[in-house]
Structure 1
């Protein structure tokens, strides 16, 4: 799929080096097609790394996509140059009047904070409500998935003493759900989180379905019947080294983290990781774009209907 991204975005060279098709704006403008409008609310501190991970996964369909990177506040990020933010990111206020076919809200390193203690929580809830009116289908990842469940359904996550960290086996609960089309009955996905919401809580909400889960770490993919909201509690976008980088970062900081499960060869941190989640991660994003976004979104985004409010 040609992703239309801003010229000079650092991710472009990385993706081209991986033989992934990207398209600059001038070339895309000459194609007689309406591209999908996808916003990415990037809450991760290392913006550039997350950009590459997500753009890589958005690259595997014949659809053309226009991507807007959105920032939630103006505070300078810890691990990303301010010049990068100024060049490639929109303040939410700059896109608040726009409508999008799809929106991705990333995770955030806020595991141990109460939601109301998050500095941008008020803005986050504004965006959650805005998405109900302005976005055809929203994909919430990890922390964002739990935050949305809290805001819309009043489910408070449990904070575990030991982090779910590793690559875990999952099973397909609903093989007929289009998000899982082409999935093997059993597949693997990375998790890196302290927060947890019991599967029974998801299942108690009318109109939500746990379509994939793990015996070890619980619900993984939860989707609404109307396809307007998808909650993913793990990280299908992670690079091969991401879990390892997190582990070694914590060790270097003097912490004693558990070795990520089923990740390093022989569970030995001196050996390379075993990568076995990328194919399903790519397929998941492709299915979301096709069946939950492209097949359901109106050609004229001004005709996008407001989603009925979730039942709290």
Structure 2
């Protein structure tokens, strides 16, 4: 898919080496096509890595998309050069009068804090509320999924006795939904979190549908408002080596670090990871774009409500 992304974004060169077609803004403006407008609120510490992971998945349909990266005014990232943020990201205040066909809100390394203790909680909840009538469909990922469910529906999170870390088998509970078109009976999803949301809270809350779960890792995907909101507890967007990098970063520095389960060949960290989630990750993002964004959004983007 021809993705319209900012000129000179580092992801362009990375993805071209993978034979993934992306189009910078200069070339895209020569095409007379109404692109889908997708905004990404990237709360992950390694911004460039997350940008590349998400663009890789969004590139898997024939639809043209115009990608905008949003940042918080109330938070300055420590692990991404300020020059990168200034060149490729826009504050919410700059974007709040615009409407978007789709939105992705990523995880964030703040899950051990109570939601209200997060320094940018006030701003991020303004964005959650704004998305309700400025975006056709929104994907909330990992911490954002927990935060969105808490803000919109009052769903609490609970600390886990140990980190949920590895790749876990997931089962679709509503396999006929368009989001699961082409899925097998089960799929795999990377998880990396210290807290959880619980099935009984989801099932007791009007307006929420639990649509995928795991016997090992619990709640997987929750849908609301007929697909205008999806809450995904894990990281289908992760690259093959992301959990490995996280494991090697933390081992010896924290006392709660265990090897990611179901991840390395023969459960041996000297072996490479077994990548078992990539096909379904591509399917899920393609289905979301096709059935919940493209086929639902009005041609006149200003009519989103």
TM-score interval for Structure 1 and Structure 2 normalised by the shorter chain? over 0.9
Residue number in structure 1 paired with 2:130: 130
* Aligned equivalents of 1:225, 1:256: Cα separation in 2: 38
Matched, 1:79 2:99: no
What stretches of structure 1 move > 4 A for 4+ residues in a row?
Answer: none
Partner of 2:219: 219
* Within-5 A mapping of 1:95-134: 95-134=95-134
The 1-side partners of 2:62 and 2:174 are apart by 26
* 1:160 corresponding residue in structure 2: 160
Bigger shift: residues 71-80 or 107-116: 71-80
Task: Tell me how far 1:205 sits from its aligned partner.
Answer: 2.3
Q: Tell me if structure 1 keeps the 8 A contact 2:107–2:143.
A: yes
Deviations 1:37-90 (A, max 9, x none): 000000011100000000000000000000110101264322111110010000
Equivalent positions of 1:214-293 (< 5 A) are: 214-293=214-293
User: What residue is the counterpart of 1:31 in the other structure?
Assistant: 31
Match of 1:172 in 2: 172
Check the 8 A contact 1:74/1:91 in 2, yes or no: no
Q: Does 1:299 align with 2:264?
A: no
Distance in structure 2 (CA, Å) of the matches to 1:249 and 1:255: 13
Q: Output the TM-score relative to the length of structure 1.
A: 0.95
Partner of 2:188: 188
Give the conservation status (yes or no) of the 8 Å contact 1:9–1:88: yes
Contact 1:167 1:190 in 2 (8 A): yes
The range that moved more, 70-79 or 94-103, is: 70-79
Q: Is the 8 A contact 1:209 1:225 kept in 2?
A: no
- Cα distance per residue 1:161-184 (max 9 Å; x no partner): 201000001111111101000000
Match of 1:63 in 2: 63
Query: Which one is further off, 189-198 or 55-64?
Result: 189-198
Give the superposition deviation at 1:186.
1.1
In the superposition, relative to structure 1, how do residues 249 and 22 fare at CA in structure 2: closer, same or farther (>3 Å)? same
Q: Is the 8 A contact 1:105 1:144 kept in 2?
A: yes
Please, which runs of 5 or more residues in structure 2 have no aligned partner?
A: none
Moved more, 75-84 or 291-300: 75-84
Where 2:59 maps in the other structure, the secondary structure is coil
Corresponding residue SS for 1:101 = strand
Whole-Å separation in 2 of the counterparts to 1:140 and 1:191? 14
Deviation by residue 1:242-288 (Cα, 9 ceiling, x = unmatched): 11111111114243411111001121112211111000011100000
Which segments of 5 or more consecutive residues in structure 1 lack a partner in the other structure? 306-312
Report the aligned-residue RMSD.
Answer: 1.1
Matched, 1:3 2:3: yes
1:226 partner SS: helix
Distance in 1 between the 2:211 and 2:256 partners? 34
Contact 2:221-2:231 within 8 A present in 1 as well: yes
For the residues of structure 2 that align with 1:104 and 1:195, how far apart are their CA atoms?
21
User: Helix, strand or coil: the match of 2:52?
Assistant: helix
**Residues paired across the two proteins, number:** 305
Deviates more, 1:67-76 or 1:87-96: 67-76
Shift of 1:303: 0.9
Look up the SS of the partner of 2:84 in the other structure. helix
- Structure 1 distance, partners of 2:8, 2:27, is 15
- Deviations 1:210-230, CA, capped at 9 Å, x for gaps: 111101111111112422100
Give the distance between the partners of 2:74 and 2:210, measured in 1 at CA. 36
